[in-house]
Amino acid sequence: MTDTIAVDDLSEAEARAELARLAALLAEANRAYHGEDAPEISDAAYDALKARNALIEARFPALKRSDSPSEQVGAAPSEGFAKVTHKVRMLSLGNAFEADDVAEFDTRIRRYLGWADVALLTYTAEPKIDGLSLSLRYEQGKLVQAATRGDGETGENVTANARTIADIPGTLTGAPDVLEVRGEVYMSHADFKALNARQAAKSDKPFANPRNAAAGSLRQLDATITAARPLRFFAYSWGDLSAPLADTQMGAIKRLAALGFQTNPLTVLCDGVDALLAQYAMIEQARATLGYDIDGVVYKVDDLALQVRLGFRSTTPRWAIAHKFPAELAWTRLEAIDIQVGRTGALSPVARLSPVTVGGVVVSNATLHNEDYIAGRDSKGGVIRPDENGNAKDIRVGDWVQVYRAGDVIPKIADVDLGKRPEEATAFVFPTTCPECGSDAVREEGDAVRRCVGGLICPAQAVEKLKHFVSRAAFDIEGLGAKQVEMFYKDDQLPVKEPAAIFTLKERDRKNFTKLANREGWGEKSAKNLFEAIEEKRKIPFGRLLFALGIRHVGEQASTLIARNYGTWDEFIAAMDAAKEFEGPEWERLLGIDGVGTVMARALVGAFAEPHERDSIDRLTQHLTVEEAARPDTSGSPVAGKTVVFTGTLEKMTRAEAKARAEALGAKVAGSVSAKTDLLIAGPGAGSKAKKAQELGIETVDEDGWLALIEGA
């Protein structure tokens, strides 16, 4: 830290050496800080080192080290669990509620396979355990990692806790080299009752239901607490493998059982829809006597080769579905209807209910969707919640209403008891002005929602936009969540009314210092942590920035696609300006992006052309370094711009891999063959698609042919 040369005077060689020195110093400081030793350097000195590192990196970007301290998100010490990225995503299942939905599921599969003439397809049926999913990774037969589902992509590492569960073997004999077992952690009714009795004896809060008790127990930071909780585990699936478990779903389940896992004894094979429904009825009958909670029955195509052919939609497999038991219902009184204003200005009515227990949870709020839903009609004029004469039943304050939790989560109102309606109850009048700012609230023709036109003048919209800005898929600033955003918005001393203000917080605070640190609930440490978290996000990927702006219709997916198309922020901004009149080559280019239509394009171009919004964006970006989006390198790609379709079983790659690879080479991957298809890649077992391609005279290759074609590209 002594005799430091000014950054501007550094030669390249000196800069390289200096970066190495800083990386070592900062790493050592981190170790001291996070370990048991007292920090060896002061916070101010640490900040100075980090700042110097950043300056040098800015001047010599090419010298930036792979272990650059600026990239490191200060390893979180024992607060919470480490994150684990799943090798194979943990997906959720599609739902069926009626017998018709199950029949449709079966039809869809047979149509997809081109098997309209095959009457009976074999499925497995098993109870759907109401617990929490867990993924166990075994290498050379040893349990090396246990992870919760999380958002499906990333979960939490709970290995130490999983090792305390008796149903989870620590070692396996005869397992493939790499095996990822998936299943459900749950708690039995008897164990749950006993646990709650123990909780009461210690005057600890009882758990609301076995599911919460299981979740709470698994997520204990102290594994000895988990060990004292009676958790159980059923294995039902697998992820990453070094060798296939079996040819069929049932075979794989049997193999898991042979390896020492508990598998559900009610898992059976069923031929066709009627057999599935019979098994559903049987399991529903047995539900009360099982001794643990289940919330439905899961059906899966038994033949694993067919599962591979069927593949996945964006969030669910095509080859499985969860047939849910009817939701629990409860009657309660509607006390009030409040209106919330969202970031796009949407006015959403929320029912305030007299608290009632539904499905093991006390519910006091429920969504009312929109104006029409309260009136008892859908947006197309159809009647919902009809009375015996088929007339619409509206919802009034004071009514007795029937509540359920859709998908066991979101409380909704299913019905209204007109017999108990108080005489004085009047139909709800939906406001035509914004309750937050008084601006007009307008409902566009054909639209279901009414929106406040106040834009950023409306405090509710401004706050919600800020919340969106810092949300997980956007800037994701640690220590700056919804609550903090609300606080800063209302703050007189350090106001944050727009995104740019987040990045001037530190400067503004420094002038009077400790403005933030002296506040209720804040100390020097939390203030410093927040400022650091903000610094880390000054560098932001293009796609995240675009999504964070919260332009209507432009979500996470669209933002990524758009960023990939333009590459750099500057090129994108220039394109938006050039398309201002909603015409011309840049307008056409925007519309040419897959997934972008006129509605989205207008919203996008309009946002950048609107002076206030544009100024706000420019004020923000001057504080940021926008990272270039990786433009797929399609030079020398033989399939750039071509539409390709995969069919049949792919043996050397998964469907997701094949799709990702093709897209990276600039090809468009379609799901079905049409006249627009340029190339069909047909694996063994290809059916109707191959036939259709032949009829249309479309070039067809096998998997090896495809790999040869793209080799080296």
Contacting positions for DNA (CB under 7 A): 92, 95, 108, 208, 212, 313-314, 340, 342-346, 348, 350, 361-367, 369-370, 372-373, 378-379, 406-411, 446-449, 464, 550, 552-559, 594-601, 670-676
**Residue 365 is inside which H or E element, if any?**
strand 361-367
Q: What is the DSSP string of 255-278?
A: HHHHTT----TT-EEEEHHHHHHH
Alpha carbons 398 and 417: distance in angstroms, whole number: 11
Cβ nearer to DNA, comparing 48 with 350: 350
**Could you tell me which residues come within 8 angstroms of residue 577 by beta carbon, excluding any fewer than 6 positions away?**
608, 609
Alpha carbons 446 and 26: distance in angstroms, whole number: 58
* Residue 377 beta carbon to DNA: minimum distance, rounded to whole angstroms: 9
Cβ nearer to DNA, comparing 70 with 217: 217
Q: What is the DSSP string of 104-170?
A: HHHHHHHHHHT-TT----EEEEEEEESSEEEEEEEETTEEEEEEE-TTSSEEEB-HHHHTT-TTS-S
* Residue 225 beta carbon to DNA: minimum distance, rounded to whole angstroms: 16
Q: What is the DSSP string of 453-506?
A: --GGGSHHHHHHHHHHHHSTTTT--TT--HHHHHHHHH-SSS---SHHHHTTHH
- CB environment 208-228: b (16+ within 10 A), e (fewer): ebbbbbbbbbbebeeeeebbe
Cβ nearer to DNA, comparing 24 with 603: 603
Cβ nearer to DNA, comparing 318 with 396: 318
225, 219 Cβ separation under 8 angstroms: no
Catalytic, out of 50, 128, 537, 659:
128
396, 304 Cβ separation under 8 angstroms: no
Strands in 289-360 per DSSP E: 294-301, 320-324, 330-341, 347-358
* Active site annotation includes 465: no
* Residue 337 beta carbon to DNA: minimum distance, rounded to whole angstroms: 11
Alpha carbons 277 and 465: distance in angstroms, whole number: 46
* Residue 589 beta carbon to DNA: minimum distance, rounded to whole angstroms: 13
Cβ nearer to DNA, comparing 72 with 439: 439
Alpha carbons 602 and 587: distance in angstroms, whole number: 9
Cβ nearer to DNA, comparing 39 with 606: 606
> Strand 132-139 relative to strand 142-148: parallel, antiparallel, unpaired?
antiparallel
Cβ nearer to DNA, comparing 176 with 499: 499
Smallest Cα–Cα separation from 264: which of 128, 96, 134? 128
* Residue 533 beta carbon to DNA: minimum distance, rounded to whole angstroms: 22
* Residue 554 beta carbon to DNA: minimum distance, rounded to whole angstroms: 6
* Residue 405 beta carbon to DNA: minimum distance, rounded to whole angstroms: 8
* Residue 669 beta carbon to DNA: minimum distance, rounded to whole angstroms: 10
* Residue 366 beta carbon to DNA: minimum distance, rounded to whole angstroms: 6
Cβ nearer to DNA, comparing 270 with 562: 562
Cβ nearer to DNA, comparing 15 with 600: 600
**Residue 541 is inside which H or E element, if any?**
strand 539-541
Q: Which residue has the tokens 């933002």?
A: 559
Alpha carbons 627 and 389: distance in angstroms, whole number: 61
259, 172 Cβ separation under 8 angstroms: yes
Half-sphere exposure at residue 255, Cβ-oriented, CA atoms within 13 angstroms: 17
Cβ nearer to DNA, comparing 15 with 351: 351
- CB environment 34-70: b (16+ within 10 A), e (fewer): eeeeeeebeeeebeebbebbbebbeebeebeeeebbb
* Residue 539 beta carbon to DNA: minimum distance, rounded to whole angstroms: 23
Residues designated catalytic:
128
